[in-house]
Amino acid sequence: MRSPKYSLFLLWITILFGLGLFLPGQAALSQGVAPEVLVMDVHGPVAPAMQLYIERGLAYAADSHFALIVMQLNTPGGAIDTMTTIVNSIHTSPVPVAIYVSPRGAMAASAGTLITLSAQVSAMAPQTTIGAASPVGSQGQNIDTTEETKIKEVLKATARGLMTDRSPEAVTLAEQTIDNAKAATASEALQAGLVDFNVSSVDELVSRLNGYTVKVQGQPVTLNLQGARLVNFPPTLIEDALQFFTDPNLVFILLSAGIWAILIELSNPGGWVAGFAGAVLLIIALFGMGYLSVNWAGLLFLLLAFILFIVDIKAPTHGALTAAGAASFVAGGLILFNGVHMPGVPTISVPLVVGTGIFIAGSFFAALTLALRAQSLPLWMGHQTLVGKVGVIRAPVDPKGQIQVAGELWSVRMVEGERPLQPGERAEVVSIEGVVLQVKKAKQQE
């Protein structure tokens, strides 16, 4: 029989052994459920490429059950409609979103101001700015007073709706950024309550948010970010390309180059390189236009210019239709991306549009002139080019023989009424019948 001391010893061994198996498993389990924070780099104009990237990140964070999304924001502003879509997506996200204006020198200007206010948490790095959210026209100019008042009132109402839990000073500052294009530094925004934190890094922001309570879809949520792991979420190649191809100036250049190449192909047909290149450029331009705010009246003017250029090819006189096409092209380019937005989005360059219209019209007219001149020149290839040339008789022509003309040996027949020709004499080609040349004695013999 075992002694009580021996039994107690076995019991302690069993307990320690069990703890040895259990504790590592608990440690591994704790590591497996450590909270994760999705870190996104949101920079550049507020454009469809940014919207696509943010929406993809929000969906990924929701599907993967991230504890928090941190968007590092640096934007000069952009389109109002795109901003509105981004604001709604962030404000209704099931995963808490923290907007962090960074790095140093970055800004959440114009449309970026309302995007920052749409998040559950907002923070700014030192030496960053926020504000200057007044709407402007497509060329950066002031818009009509009535239209400006309407847009500003809508933007201020949007800001107030996003700031129901913030101080009256913060609401006043937000409205001043829209009414008077006021901008604020990081410390000024924090002092007014427009943002929640001034921090120097994402790590510091996550650390300060541990235990912080936010409202997600109207419900209070306390953030548990102890030991949180940061997961970077880079943009895709398509999103980077879209950011590049949605600059209206670049799209206009691609559109102009495509039209120019196709016009050259139509004015001087026979090749395929110019036509193919023009088609590819037009497809890329249309891809970019699909993600831009396009005024369809401008596109119709460009189409009219294209038609006028083509009609000028078949017209009995040339020049007037080309000039009309150039005017229509310039008008279409200026109207194409005409609209109201907030500062920061790239705008179409007036000198670029006017210069491109003049260049296309001038080069098309020059190509058309050269093509018409070439049509009036005599043939320089084929048998018909031999008519009128003088050659040397190589075999007696009576009435048939041979002649060397243009470096080649041909069979010939004498024209009726002409005397026979001997080798060495010179004869002129009068006409061609099949592969036989009709010749007569040349007026001058060498």
For 323-370, the pLDDT digits (tens) are 888 889 888 888 887 655 455 556 777 888 888 888 888 877 777 777
Classify domain 383-441 at the CATH topology level: OB fold (Dihydrolipoamide Acetyltransferase, E2P) (2.40.50)
Q: What is the DSSP letter of 228?
A: -
Q: Measure Cα distances from 135 to 142, 154, 295, 343 in Å.
A: 8, 11, 18, 7
Mean pLDDT of 209-236: 93
Q: Residue 349 is encoded by which pair of tokens?
A: 């360059």
CATH of the structural domain 34-236, one choice from 3.40.50.300, 3.90.226.10, 3.90.1150.10, 3.40.50.2020: 3.90.226.10
> Is the pTM value of this prediction over 0.85?
no
Residue 22 pLDDT > 50: no
For residues 68 and 38, is the Cβ–Cβ distance under 8 A? yes
Q: What is the DSSP letter of 399?
A: S
Between residues 424 and 206, the one the model is more confident about: 206
pLDDT at site 434: 72
Rounded CA separation 410/320 (Å): 49
Q: What is the pLDDT of residues 55-64, one digit of tens each?
A: 999 999 999 9
Rounded CA separation 211/224 (Å): 6
Q: What is the pLDDT of residues 154-194, one digit of tens each?
A: 889 988 988 988 889 999 999 998 888 899 999 999 999 99
pLDDT at site 42: 94
* Alpha-carbon dihedral sign for residues 113, 138, 140, 283: positive
Q: Quick one: pLDDT band at residue 373, thresholds 50, 70, 90?
A: low
Identify which of 45-49, 202-206, 387-391 has the greatest average pLDDT: 202-206
Q: Quick one: pLDDT band at residue 200, thresholds 50, 70, 90?
A: very high
Three-class secondary structure of residue 69 per DSSP: strand
Rounded CA separation 130/439 (Å): 91
Rounded CA separation 304/302 (Å): 5
Residue 31 pLDDT > 60: no
Mean pLDDT, the chain, whole residue set: 81
Q: Which residues contact 147 (CB under 8 A, 6 or more apart)?
A: 340
Which uninterrupted H or E stretch holds 57?
Answer: helix 48-63
Instruction: Give the position of tokens 């060495």.
Output: 424
